[in-house]
Chains A and B, each alone.
Chain A
Amino acid sequence: MGTAVSIEVADDLPASVLGELIADVCRWLHEVDARFSTYKPESEVMRLRRGEITAADASEDLRHVLNACADLWRDTDGYFDAYAGGPLDPSGYVKGWSVEVASARLAAAGSTNHYINAGGDIRMRGHHPDGGPWRVGIRHPWEPDKLSWVLAVSDGAVATSGTYERGDHIINPRTGRPAQGLRSVTVVGPDLSLADAYATAALAMGEPGLSWLSKLATDGYDSAVVTDDGRAFSSANLPAAV
């Protein structure tokens, strides 16, 4: 599994405090992994799969995740589906949610300027060490060392779903086959768990995802999309850096 997590804390705090803040984030992410990993046979998700526990008996965090996945299944017209691969797998939601919570914990502990990047999904707060907003590049869908867009965000989340890293891993639940039509979908908005799920759902939809994404703008979720044939689209208020 092994998602790489990058954390930058830009607050003017003593080194020992910064160290403790980052250690707390790591502890939280390990706790999430132990509870939700589908690669760990004794995780709570796997025990739920095997019927050793019921959803009603599950931990508060697991119950929250199950409810959120149900809401997202409805809100994405079934394209975000924790059961898409057969057995329950809430990883698509957990990834963004765990970082969203980690950022909230950092803020509660006194860090108002930081970003956390977990495998390409980013939650940021406040400003960069240089004083301005966090500048985030969206990885070009064909050229790994280039960027397609550069965004400037102070408080918010950026999530990208794409077919160029892990191949055909996103299934279109209608066809049961790998998603086609869109190569990269980036969603920018207030909550990383939602941005992540929306990006995944839109990618699964294929080209119809373009019009679905445009409706999210009124809820504060902007997007940047590249199709399989190289066309680029973005919402009017995408926070592009100038």
Chain B
Amino acid sequence: MRRSTAAAVGTLTGAALIVGVRLSVQPPAAPAAAPPSTSLVDNPAPEATSKKPGGTAGGAGKKTTEPGKNKSGLKDGTFKGKGANNQYGTVQVTVKIEDGKITAVDATYPTLGNSATINPVAVPKLKQETLQSQSAKVAAVSGATYTSASYRESLQAALDSAKA
């Protein structure tokens, strides 16, 4: 789907003659076609509305306010296909049409927490905390390697001489 859509973009933008292309916004043929398990935001009804963009959860899809029909037969707007599930997650295709031309195509593979096959195993990150400055009773001090000279001034030296 993506490849053929890109080819269509090339043809449409370069050609003087615009043939009425029926744009079927379908997600790519997925290896394990299954009905989408997520309900997608704002499934396109490419109809004229004068709604302002925004107000849709999940970001990418916004309706433009300019619906009109164009010579190509394509209606302006941003259209999201139904999501299709494969083993990597839910695949969704978004197509943007301006002045009857396809100006943008995007296929997204949202990262899901349960897509363990291609997502790396979650590694707990180091946690940020407040840097302390304390004077506690310790048996030894670990620090960057000190020279013999700076050792003399160090906490470790104080500990060693206290024990001697």
Contact = CB atoms under 8 A, between A and B. Distances in A.
A213 B130 CA distance: 19
Given A148-B132, A234-B126, A165 B146 contact: yes
Contacts of B148: 2-4
A6 interface: yes
Interface residues of B, number: 36
A165 B142 contact: no
Nearest to B138: A137
B137 interface: yes
Interface stretch (B6-14, B42-50, B102-110, B152-160): B152-160
Given A137-B136, A137-B155, A144-B153, A159 B126 contact: no
A13 interface: no
A165 B140 contact: no
A147 B138 contact: yes
A134 B143 contact: no
Contacts of B133: 140, 143, 146-148
Contacts of B137: 135
B141 interface: yes
B131 A160 contact: no
Contacts of A138: 141-143
A236 B159 CA distance: 29
A112 interface: no
B124 A149 contact: no
Given A137-B142, A160-B142, A145 B126 contact: no
A231 B126 CA distance: 12
A226 B135 contact: no
Contacts of A120: 141-146, 156
Contact of A214 (B125, B130, B138, B145): B125
A225 B138 contact: no
A184 interface: yes
A233 B126 contact: yes
B133 to A, nearest CB: 5
Contacts of B143: 120, 138-139, 160, 162, 165, 184
Nearest to A224: B126
Contacts of B136: 135, 137, 147, 150, 241
Contact of A6 (B126, B140, B153): B140
A26 to B, nearest CB: 15
A8 interface: yes
Contact of A121 (B145, B150, B155): B145
B140 A214 contact: no
B127 A233 contact: yes
A210 B141 CA distance: 22
A136 B139 contact: yes
B129 A163 contact: no
Interface in B46-102: none
B123 interface: yes
Contacts of B157: 4
Interface in A141-184: 143-150, 158-166, 184
A214 B124 contact: yes
Interface of B: 123-148, 150-151, 153-157, 159-160, 163
Q: Which 4 A-B pairs have the closest CB atoms?
A: A162-B144, A139-B143, A4-B151, A232-B131
